Amino acid sequence: MRDIAAEHDSDAAAERDDGDGDGDGDNRAPEHGDSAAPGREVPAPALDEYRARARAWIEANLERGQVSGLRRGDTDPAAIAAGRALQRRLYEAGYAGITWPREYGGQGLGPEYERAFGQEARGYRLPDLGIAGGTTFGVCAMTMLAHASADFLRRHIPRILAGEELFVQFFSEPEAGSDLAGVRTRAVRSGDGWVLNGSKIWSSGAYYADWGMCLARTDWDVPKHRGLTWFAVPVTAPGVTVERIRQITGDAEFCQEFFDDVVLGDGDVIGQVNDGWTVAQTMLMFERGGGLSHGTRTTRTTRASTGVAPDLVELARAAGRLADPLTRDLIVRAHVDDVARRALLGRLGARMRTDPAQALHLASYAKLVSGVHDPIRADIAMRIGGADAVNWETMGADGAHGDAVNRDERPGDSPGPKAAVGFLNSRFMSIAGGTNEMQRNSIGERVLGLPREPSFDSGKPFREVLRDARGWSSARE
């Protein structure tokens, strides 16, 4: 994988102006933890010293407790606000973006410092910004750091690190998912800027995000992969409508957006105009787990991954089946799968570090592992939970137990309902960011060198593809 931090260190050294006209490079938050001027070489502290300082700060500033307070689809604005406030405190103390470039508000330190901070923070509450937090830090910001202009990064990255800007992904459309290069949301040149029209769908967490990273068609007269551009779109801009989509679990984490003459500037472009496919490849790499080796987050979104299937042990105990030999067999089966999965992900991370050119395609394995393994594990949980996993009391938005007919209510947090919700959500990874079939295609073609699938539309101008497709549908009628 590319050393993004190093790349941007040199970019920024060449380009010192912060774009606000005063030439002072002052776009970082004023109270930010380190006091050196942006871009100036600062010797890294000794690791032991850093660890000791981090430990003292953590003890004085963070609460002990569970990592995650937010459930998927949590709608509570107070929880999000608390997550943002905590993220700001980390940023001000210099513990957000530990490995991110100093020019953009990070600390420019090596992954060993981030690891040290993570180890010291174990058992303390870190900011939880839900699904949009994971997308912001793990996917969008990483993609921006690889492709956006220095001016864009100086405007957005410090705000991201301070918890002020949550970004989600606007790429799927009602008629473009696996065929991502077929998007039809259009951005048209208008004066000094752009006007955006169209619709995106399945955007996770857009209802509480600040910005969306949006893929739009900017040239219809070239083949479909070549006329695309990414834009940063403010979710509250005039002309943007966000509608939530209710899921089978009762959550409403997905959204559909409608863009009606949304005005954007050149400064909102991420990467080069009409080279959006290159940016998309990077984004998909991070989305599929290609960022495994790049420690980035001081925001926690993932479950602890140690112990013998602790969630299943808890479930079996709650269901009174811990001594049952068949249940124990299932728990061991899940545990062995967990170990194999962790080992494979570790190995993939190492391969990606040594073979960065293959990272996108290797990431398909990581994605496929989850897409295949999650449903198997969820099925095991249902078999262990039995009736306990299909019958739950519901909880109101305030966390109080409530009435099952209220559509805003979601299952509670005890082991049985958690297994049921896990089962309903278990196909997520087999679809999100590219389905299992698309990962297999990618592995077959790009890693194993098998022949490419025949394509009828990738060589001709996208306008003609649409015209021909209209011809086929009317011929069938």
Q: How far is the CB of 212 from ligand FAD (least distance, A)?
A: 8
Closest CA to 165 of 152, 178, 174, 175: 152
- Residue closer to ligand FAD by CB (options 168, 232) is 168
Interaction between residue 124 and ligand FAD (CB under 6 A): no
> Rule CB under 6 A: is residue 302 a binding residue for ligand FAD?
no
**What is the DSSP secondary structure assignment for residue 306, as one 8-state letter?**
-
Query: Of the ranges 6-14, 162-170, 236-244, 256-264, which one interacts with ligand FAD (CB under 6 A)?
Result: 162-170
100/9 Cα distance (integer angstroms): 10
Give the shortest CB-268-to-ligand FAD separation in angstroms: 18
Among 27, 87, 143, 172, interactor with ligand FAD by CB under 6 A: 172
Instruction: Pull the structure tokens for residue 15.
Output: 């380009």
Q: Note whether 424 binds ligand FAD by CB under 6 A.
A: no
CA 23 to chain centre: 33
Tell me if residue 287 is catalytic: yes
Q: What are phi and psi of 228, to 5 degrees?
A: -115, 150
Q: Which is nearer to ligand FAD, 327 or 435 (CB)?
A: 435
The nearest distance, CB 344 to ligand FAD, in angstroms, is: 22
Q: Is 168 in the site for ligand FAD (CB under 6 A)?
A: yes
Among the residue ranges 188-196, 200-208, 366-374, 460-468, the one whose residues contact ligand FAD (CB under 6 A): 200-208
Among candidates 395, 402, 298, 290, which has minimal Cα distance to 88?
298
How near is the Cβ of 447 to ligand FAD at its closest, in Å?
A: 16
Distance CA 100, CA 12 (A): 13
Q: Which stretch binds ligand FAD (CB under 6 A): 59-67, 289-297, 382-390, 430-438?
A: 430-438
Indicate whether 435 belongs to the interface with ligand FAD (CB under 6 A): yes
Cβ neighbors of 401 (< 8 A, separation 6 or more) are 393, 394, 395, 412
Q: From 9-17, 32-40, 201-209, 412-420, give the range in contact with ligand FAD by CB under 6 A.
A: 201-209
The yes or no reply on residue 444 touching ligand FAD (CB under 6 A) is no
* Contacts of ligand FAD in 204-233 (CB under 6 A): 204
Query: Which of 431, 444, 461, 463 is close enough to bind ligand FAD by CB under 6 A?
Result: 431
DSSP secondary structure code for residue 461 in this structure? B
Task: Out of 19, 45, 111, 177, point to the residue binding ligand FAD (CB under 6 A).
Answer: 177
Which one of residues 57, 95, 113, 202 is an interface residue with ligand FAD (CB under 6 A)?
202
Of the candidate residues 107, 203, 218, 298, the single one contacting ligand FAD (CB under 6 A): 203
Q: Which residue is nearest to ligand FAD (CB)?
A: 177
User: How many angstroms separate the Cα of 12 from the Cα of each of 102, 169, 231, 391?
Assistant: 9, 26, 22, 56
Find the shortest distance in angstroms from Cβ 263 to ligand FAD: 22
Distances in Å between the Cα of 52 and the Cα atoms of 42, 121, 477 are 19, 12, 72
From 124, 220, 258, 428, residue interacting with ligand FAD (rule: CB under 6 A): 428
**Three-class SS state of 470:** helix
Query: Exactly one of 106, 301, 434, 462 binds ligand FAD (CB under 6 A); which one?
Result: 434
Q: Which is catalytic among the residues 287, 409, 437, 464? A: 287
Task: Say if residues 50 and 113 touch (Cβ distance below 8 Å).
Answer: yes
Q: How many residues belong to the site for ligand FAD (CB under 6 A)? A: 20
Q: 371 vs 137, 214, 333, 377, 426, CA distance in Å?
A: 22, 25, 17, 11, 8
Q: Rank residues 27 and 435 by Cβ distance to ligand FAD and give the closer one.
A: 435
Is residue 171 near ligand FAD by the rule CB under 6 A? yes
Q: How far, in Å, CA of 228 to CA of 213, rounded? A: 13
Cα 144 from Cα 224, distance rounded (Å): 22
Strand partners, 244: 255
- Is 256 a binding residue for ligand FAD by CB under 6 A? The answer is no
Q: Please classify residue 204 by burial: count the beta carbons closer than 10 Å to its beta carbon, then call 0-12 exposed, 13-18 middle and 19+ buried.
A: buried
What would you measure as the largest C-alpha separation in the chain, in angstroms?
73
* Placement of tokens 């001081």 in the chain: 298
C-alpha 375/C-alpha 94 separation (Å) is 39
**Amino acid at residue number 337:** D
**Amino acid present at 230:** W
Q: Between 455 and 474, whose beta carbon lies closer to ligand FAD?
A: 455
The residue among 358 and 441 lying less far from ligand FAD, judged by its C-beta, is 441
Q: Are 316 and 382 in contact (CB under 8 A)?
A: no
Token output for 254:
């997905």
User: Is residue 289 close enough to count as binding ligand FAD by CB under 6 A?
Assistant: no
- Binding of residue 442 to ligand FAD (CB under 6 A): no
Q: Which residues bind ligand FAD (CB under 6 A)?
A: 168-172, 177-178, 200, 202-204, 428, 431-435, 437-438, 441
Catalytic residues: 287
